[in-house]
Chains A and B, each alone.
Chain A
Amino acid sequence: MSRIWILTWFLVRDLFRSPAGIVPLAAALAFGLIAFEYGMDQPQFMSVAGVGTGGICLLTGLLLAGRANRAWTYPLLARLKRRSELLAAIVLASLVITAVLSLLIGGGNLATGRLTLEFPSALWILLTWPAVWLLAAALALPLSILTSRAGSYLAGWVLLAALLVGYDQRVRLEQRGLGRVVEVISVLLWPVTTLLSRASANVHDRSYFLALGLTVTYAAVIFVLAGETFADKDLLWPE
C-alpha cells in the first residue's frame, strides 16, 4: 500500500507540474461556473454535481493513464511488485484530485451563496460521490491506451457512448419499438442512476445501498479486467 501512495503522490505532482494539469482545473472551473449559474439546491447538487465531478474524475484518470503510458514509467514500474499497483495509483490519484476539486467547487459556490446545503443530510455526499468517482476512475483505465490491447479502448469508448446515448434517447428508442434495448441499458445503468436519484431525493433505503454496492462492484470488476489486460501486455513505450 505504501508503494501505491508514493506512486499516487508522484502522479499527482507530475500531472500538475505539466501543462496537462490545467485540464482538470479548467474543467472544474467551467463546471463550477456554468452549472451553478442559477444556483443549486441540495437535490440538484447531489445528482448534477455528482455526475459532473464523476466526469472530471474520468477526465483526470484518462490524463494520468496517458502520462503513465510513456518511457519514464519503466524505472518506476521496475520497482513495483505487480503492475496493477500502477493502475491502483492512477485510480487513487484520480480520486484525490477529484475530491479536492469537488471541495473547491462546492466550497466556492457555498461561499458565494449559489449553493445551499442542509446538514447533516448533505453528508450523504461523502458516501455517494466517492462511489461514482471510483467507477469513473476505474472506467478510465480500459478507456486509455495504457491498458488497451489491439485498440480495445476504442471498443470501450463506443460501448460507453452507446450506453449514454441510448439512455438519453430511451423514450425515442421505445417509440421505435426498441424497448428491449432500453431495458438492457436501464439495467446496466441502474446502479448509478438509482444511487444518484435516491441520494438526490434524500432516500437512503435498501435500493440506495444496493445501488451503492453495485456501483463499487462495477468499479472493482472493471479494475480487475483492466489489471488482467495490463498484467501480460508488452510494454513498448515511446521514448
Chain B
Amino acid sequence: MIYLREVVKHYDQTLALDRLSLEVPEGAIFGLLGPNGAGKTTILRLIMGFLFASSGEVDRGGLTPGEIGYLPERAFYPPRFGVREYLLTSARLAGLGRGKAAAASDRLLAQLGLGGAATGRKKLGACSRGMLQRLGLAQAMIGDPRLLLLDEPASGLDPAGQKFMREQILALQEAGKTILLSSHHLDEATRVCSHVAVISQGRLVRCGPLEGSDGILALRAVSEATVTILTEPLPADLAARLASLSPEITVTGGRIVLAGQGVRHKAEVLRLLLGSGADIRHLSERQATLEEIYLEATGE
C-alpha cells in the first residue's frame, strides 16, 4: 500500500534517513520502532507530504491526502476551541456536509469516551493529555480514511488510556484500515502490531511481520533466544553428533542447549534424540522478545 524506496532525508547537514526502504501492506498495523531521533516522525511526515525526500521515492499507493488520517506526535491543538467544535471543523475539512459532520463527530466523540455536552464544550486548553490524545485520534479517524498515521499514539497516556488506545487501533484494523504507527512502547507494539520496522539512526535495521515462521520474533538472531532440552545422560557419540550440528549447540551430560543460530537445528536435534530412543524429560523454549531484538538492532 505504502512504499518507501531508498529514501534519503537531510535536515541541512544532518542525515535523518539513510536509503531507507519500507513496504506497508494493506490492512497491516505497522509499527515503526526506534529511539528518539531515529527518523520515525520523519517517515510519517514524508508520507503525509509535510516533508520532501532529499532523494528516493515515497509512494502513497494512489491515496490522496484526504484518505489519510494523521495523529501528530504532540497533542497540540488550538486551546480556545471546544472539543466538538474542533472535531466539527476537521469533519467539514474532510469533506462531510454540515449534518453528516455533526453526526460523525458525535458518534466518534461517544466512541472515544468524549461524549456529552459538557465535554463537547470543554476548551482544548483545559483538556487533559489523555483527552487530547483521544480527540487527536477522533480527528484522524473522521471522514473514514483508509490509512491512519499515528505518531506515538500512546505517548503520555496512563495504563488505562494505553489499553483504550490499543483497543481502538485493533478495532480500526478489524474495520479494514491500514495503520502505520510509531512507538517507544515495545509492549504496545507487541500487542497490536502485525508488522514492525526497527529504525536506528535513520537506517532500517529490522523489518517484517511480527509473528509467523518468517516473523521478526521467529528470526532468533538474538543471542538470548535459546532452546533447552533435558534428557538422561547421552552417549558420547550422540552428544558429539548433536554438538557438530552447530557451534552454538552445547551438550553437557543430559542437558542440551541450543542458542542463537543453533535454535534453527531444533527439529534435527529432536529427530536424533527420538531416533536414538533418548528419554526427553523437559523441553523449554525461550523466544527472543521484541525488546531484545530492538536493543540488539539499535545497539543500545
Contacts and interface: CB of A to CB of B under 8 A. Distances in A.
Interface of A: 2-3, 6-7, 10, 13-14, 17-18, 70-72, 74-81, 232, 234-236, 239
Given A3-B93, A7-B93, A235-B50, A79 B80 contact: no
Contacts of A74: 48, 50, 70, 72
A234 B65 contact: no
Contact of A79 (B50, B52, B65): B65
B66 A75 contact: no
Contacts of B50: 74, 77, 234-235
A79 B72 contact: no
A75 B51 contact: no
A79 B73 contact: no
B74 interface: yes
Nearest to A78: B70
A13 B123 CA distance: 13
B68 interface: yes
Nearest to B64: A81
A6 B69 contact: no
Give the most central of A13, A71, A74: most B CB within 10 Å: A74
Given A72-B77, A76-B93, 20 more contacts: A3-B92, A3-B93, A13-B81, A14-B78, A14-B80, A14-B81, A17-B81, A18-B80, A71-B72, A71-B76, A74-B48, A74-B50, A75-B90, A75-B140, A78-B70, A79-B94, A80-B93, A235-B51, A236-B11, A236-B51
Given A78-B68, A79-B143, A17 B52 contact: no
26 contacts: A2-B92, A3-B93, A3-B95, A6-B92, A6-B93, A7-B93, A14-B81, A17-B80, A17-B81, A70-B76, A71-B74, A71-B76, A72-B76, A72-B77, A74-B50, A74-B70, A75-B71, A76-B93, A77-B50, A78-B48, A78-B70, A79-B94, A80-B93, A81-B66, A235-B45, A239-B76
B136 interface: yes
A34 B48 CA distance: 48
B89 interface: yes
